[in-house]
């Protein structure tokens, strides 16, 4: 039986050594479906998930992860990738979806208004924010928005670096959905930032616009792969009720 969300969160630990027991690819894939249900900025879903099951590719990526044992002993790997470059394609997918949802005769006044607002969002606002040229346009928008922001609240994340953060934020949420789902079915994971991302991109033949968000090793924990009890800063040092 699957663990509850709280049980899965409590069970999940970063696992640095896995047993030799194989894991079921279909279960891992289902956990990736859960990953794709994570919330995402503007529902643009600027992510991709590479599920590595081939031994040859696992070995190559383990080397690119500096041979850390979490990667070397993993039975499978998941590479979470951001695809900021796909913003236009994803915006169009949202528009198509809206057209389908509202493809009914006699739309109510409220639905017509909703459709128009949402369509304008993807046709006008998203390009205003995402359209860039070598980071220059983004910086000009940023400066203009700072001036407008002196007079009213305004969205300020328009620079290339801001847009990268936006994409990585959402991808991180998907990664956490994945790890919690894996814990729920009794599988273990370790998120890894420690990798040569350029080499990983080459191994997976990813395009220039793709960025590695994190690599998640998967398997069944060997007890020696949990490095000590869990440490967290006392909650009252990080919790502020305002
Ligand atoms: C973005 C990110 C990158 C991480 N990179 C690595 C890594 O490269 N190697 C590793 O062994 N652990 C890595 N970790 C795991 C953390 O060290 C671990 O989450 C932390 O020590 C807390 O332990 P816990 O996950 O067992 O609660 C990473 C975690 C995150 C969220």
| Separation between Cα atoms, residue 158 and residue 135, nearest integer Å | 9
Domain residue spans of the chain: 5-86+170-238, 88-161
Predicted pLDDT at 139: 85
| Separation between Cα atoms, residue 208 and residue 213, nearest integer Å | 14
Question: Does the domain at residues 5-86+170-238 carry the CATH identifier 3.30.70.270?
Answer: no
Q: According to DSSP H, which parts of the chain are helical?
A: 5-11, 25-35, 55-64, 69-72, 87-101, 109-120, 126-130, 136-148, 160-184, 197-204, 235-238
Q: Considering only CA atoms, which residue is closest to atom 20 of ligand 1?
A: 14
Predicted pLDDT at 135: 85
What are 190's strand-pairing partners?
217
| Separation between Cα atoms, residue 50 and residue 136, nearest integer Å | 31
Predicted pLDDT at 55: 97
Q: Considering only CA atoms, which residue is closest to atom 25 of ligand 1?
A: 14
CB of 215 shorter than 6 A to ligand 1: no
214: enclosing H helix or E strand: strand 210-219
CB 178 within 8 A of CB 32: yes
Q: In what order do the strands lie in the sheet with 47-52?
A: 47-52, 76-83, 210-219, 188-192
CB of 214 shorter than 6 A to ligand 1: yes
CB of 71 shorter than 6 A to ligand 1: no
Predicted pLDDT at 214: 98
Predicted pLDDT at 187: 98
Non-local (6+) Cβ contacts of 30 within 8 A are: 181
Burial class (CB in 10 A: 0-12, 13-18, 19+), 166: buried
Q: Counting every residue, how long is the chain?
A: 242
Non-local (6+) Cβ contacts of 187 within 8 A are: 23, 27, 28, 31, 218, 219, 220
Testing ligand 1's pocket by substitution, the residue of 191, 226, 233 carrying the most ligand atoms inside 8 A of its CB is 191
Task: Give pLDDT < 50 ranges for the chain.
Answer: none
């Amino acid at each position: 039986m699957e663990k509850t969300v709280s049980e899965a969160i409590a069970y999940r630990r970063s696992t640095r050594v896995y047993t030799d027991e194989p894991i079921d690819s279909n279960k891992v894939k289902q956990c990736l479906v859960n990953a794709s249900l994570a919330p995402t900025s503007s529902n643009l879903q600027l992510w991709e998930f590479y599920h590595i099951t081939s031994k040859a590719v696992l070995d190559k990526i383990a080397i690119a992860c500096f041979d850390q044992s979490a990667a070397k002993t993993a039975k499978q790997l998941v590479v979470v990738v951001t695809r900021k470059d796909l913003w236009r394609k994803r915006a169009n997918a949202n528009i198509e979806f809206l057209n389908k949802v509202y493809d009914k005769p006699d739309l109510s006044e409220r639905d017509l208004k909703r459709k128009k607002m949402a369509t304008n969002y993807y046709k006008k606002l998203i390009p205003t924010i995402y359209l860039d040229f070598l980071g220059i346009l983004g910086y000009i928008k940023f400066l203009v928005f700072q001036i407008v922001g002196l007079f009213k609240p305004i969205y300020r994340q328009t620079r290339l670096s801001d847009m990268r953060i936006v994409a990585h934020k959402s991808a991180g949420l998907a990664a956490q959905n994945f790890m919690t789902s894996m814990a729920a079915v009794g599988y273990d994971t370790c998120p890894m930032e420690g990798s040569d991302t350029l080499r990983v991109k080459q191994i997976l033949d990813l395009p220039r616009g793709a960025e590695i968000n994190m690599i998640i090793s998967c398997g069944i924990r060997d007890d020696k792969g949990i490095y000590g009890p869990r440490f967290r800063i006392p909650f009252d040092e990080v919790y502020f009720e305002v």
